[in-house]
Structure 1
Amino acid sequence: MIEITHLCRVYGSLVAVNDVSLTIADGEIVAIVGTSGSGKTTLMRMINRLVEPSSGSIKIDGRDNREIPAEELRRGIGYAIQGHGLFPHKTVGENIATVPKLLKWDANRIKARVDELLKIFNLDPAIFRERMPHELSGGQQQRVGVARALAAEPPILLMDEPFGALDPIIRDKAQADLLEIQRRYGTTVVIVTHDMDEAMRLGTRIAVMDKGQLQQFATPAEIIAHPATPFVRELLESGDRALRLLSLRDVAELIEPGDAEGNPIDAATSLRSALAECLWSGRETLPITSEGRLIGRIRRSEIERAARFDNFEGAQR
């Protein structure tokens, strides 16, 4: 559990974070969203003390993070950033192994962990372990960056705009990968984003920041139904409400038995992306796969019905 209490960060006359309090439960994904300069990145970076607070406190499992030596604290918290931050002179395997080596893991354990993570991210170890970062696509670099952050099995993962530079298709898959990893390991994830749609898809709860202040901290459904301030309402109005509702749910919820024509989509795809595929391809039904195996289909009519708020209310991830 991460307990943030009356947290402030002041730079001269600028109050970057102003009296923020919130609690993040174990195994939760919290998305911190806001415009540039809202204080969201500063707030997150105070968790691993890359930024020191001016006042207030952060407790991790009941222990003030200032009582933990900074090096020890950061080794226990995964950190992934936009641009991936891979070491260009190290292979993919060496990048992922960085923190386990610092922790003096056994060489066999390190190799097993590197290969495990590469397989989880659909990167064949025999092909990718010895490649250099410049030989990877942007999406592959992103996956390696997250794998490196997870290598030492940290209970907490911080992510600062990790998907911002990816194109929409790769970004959608990267988000699905993150959700699958989080479900598998139960990692507590704090992700900073400027994109409300991304926050809605990933966050079990969303912290909306503006001018250093916490505007609302609630589930995606609660924020859509009851925006707490004009700023939150304005963020929501920048996109279509029905599409935001669809982004909160996965195709897996509406699968039915049967076949369908055309290219399939994965069961972890959001309903919003599935509707876009229906409209783009002109299809009324889409085949659905999981781990490469056909498991059913989904109807466009059912996706459209799910976009109605009275059908959605209460259906949260």
Structure 2
Amino acid sequence: MIELAHVSRVVGGRTIVADVSLRVAAGTILTVVGTSGSGKTTLLRLINRLVEPSAGTIRVAGRDVRTVPPHALRRGIGYAIQGHGLFPHRTVAENIGAVPKLLGWERARIAARVDELLTLFRLDPALYRDRLPAALSGGEQQRIGVARALAAEPPILLMDEPFGALDPIIRGRAQDDLKAIQQRYGTTIVLVTHDMNEALRLGDRIAVMDGGRLVQEADPTALIGAPATEFVGALLGRGDRAFQLMALRLVDDLVEPGPAPGAPIPAGTSVRDALAESLWSQRPALPVSRDGVILGRVTRARLEAQGAGP
């Protein structure tokens, strides 16, 4: 869906992005992570031509973006930023419906899309569509900002630190919402973050930027198992890597026959969460269920073994 080939951006003799090449498959999430000044936001803005490359080629759905007028290109690309950027004097419904209105959608279609997105973000349309942004919490404003970016059903969504200002609990829920919506619509997402845990949680692939260069691009398990540079290893955190791997793995493949006491855990539980439950409840084994049916058990010993190095 998106391809960058030897893309650079130089401003005033300073290289912001240096010779970056990568591909983003349709219907996947690429998270771009790095420290401040690493070039990750500029990389994002190059895709929808908010800034222009000094060298290289960017293609979206096979077309060189330089052959498409910027306004036409952006109609097919949603854009969500930290701080949401909502119009303060427009209602929630007017904010979400802004781009569809510009595209000439009929009122009934816009209203239906507004209610659909509010429902997907677990916000009751009857309670929220006529509110102004000032009447919303920070988390609600951020979710409306993402809903607005998705309103015109773009095949691509670019997100720049969309959840950075949210507290951890609200942030986790917003991440879950995004993942569910992406899977429902098959949207291709490029999400910039400085938070490696967020990158691992959301990304099908992760691109690590350092000093304007792409130093590694891999799936989460490969990235954790084999950091390409000391910088990537430092971002991951040496002491955290075992727990990061455990958060990516599910208990499904660790179930064995046999009974275990207490309430079951779902088969889709991460190894990390299952181990936490085992330790917290002081149970050496946990029953595992799917759709209300007990599949077997998972033992603490098998859970702990998943934290070993690859």
Does 2:45 align with 1:56? no
Q: In the alignment, is the contact (CA less than 8 A) between 1:255 and 1:296 conserved in 2?
A: no
Identity score, percent: 61
Give 3-state SS (helix, strand or coil) of 1:46's partner: helix
Q: In the alignment, is the contact (CA less than 8 A) between 1:40 and 1:192 conserved in 2?
A: yes
The residue that corresponds to 1:117 in the other structure is 117
What do the CA deviations read for 1:33-66 (whole angstroms, capped 9, x no partner)? Answer: 0001000110011000111111111001110111
1: distance between equivalents of 2:122 and 2:292? 18
- 159 and 276 in structure 1: CA distance in 2 versus 1, 3 angstrom threshold: farther
Q: In the alignment, is the contact (CA less than 8 A) between 2:84 and 2:141 conserved in 1?
A: yes
The residue that corresponds to 2:174 in the other structure is 174
1: distance between equivalents of 2:17 and 2:209? 9
2: distance between equivalents of 1:154 and 1:112? 16
Whichever of the two has the greater Rg, that structure is 2
Give, in angstroms, the shift of residue 307 of structure 1.
Answer: 3.6
Give, in angstroms, the shift of residue 304 of structure 1.
Answer: 3.4
Q: In the alignment, is the contact (CA less than 8 A) between 1:92 and 1:131 conserved in 2?
A: yes
Matches within 5 A, 1:18-37: 18-37=18-37
- 123 and 286 in structure 1: CA distance in 2 versus 1, 3 angstrom threshold: farther
Q: Which runs of 5+ in 2 are unaligned?
A: none
Does 2:87 align with 1:103? no
The residue that corresponds to 1:12 in the other structure is 12
The residue that corresponds to 1:301 in the other structure is 300
The residue that corresponds to 1:193 in the other structure is 193
Give, in angstroms, the shift of residue 249 of structure 1.
Answer: 4.0
1: distance between equivalents of 2:62 and 2:146? 27
1: distance between equivalents of 2:261 and 2:142? 34
Give, in angstroms, the shift of residue 303 of structure 1.
Answer: 8.3
Letter in 2 for 1:30: L
Aligned residues: 306
Give, in angstroms, the shift of residue 84 of structure 1.
Answer: 1.1
Give 3-state SS (helix, strand or coil) of 2:21's partner: strand
Q: Which runs of 5+ in 1 are unaligned?
A: none
RMSD, aligned CA: 3.1
1: distance between equivalents of 2:276 and 2:298? 12
Q: Report runs of 4+ in structure 1 exceeding 6 Å deviation.
A: 251-259, 264-269, 285-290, 293-300
Letter in 2 for 1:62: G
Letter in 2 for 1:301: R
Give, in angstroms, the shift of residue 136 of structure 1.
Answer: 1.3
Q: In the alignment, is the contact (CA less than 8 A) between 2:33 and 2:206 conserved in 1?
A: yes
Q: In the alignment, is the contact (CA less than 8 A) between 2:251 and 2:267 conserved in 1?
A: yes
Task: Pick which of 248-257 and 187-196 moved more.
Answer: 248-257
- 74 and 90 in structure 1: CA distance in 2 versus 1, 3 angstrom threshold: same
What do the CA deviations read for 1:213-238 (whole angstroms, capped 9, x no partner)? Answer: 01011111111111112211222225
Q: In the alignment, is the contact (CA less than 8 A) between 1:206 and 1:220 conserved in 2?
A: yes
1: distance between equivalents of 2:56 and 2:300? 50
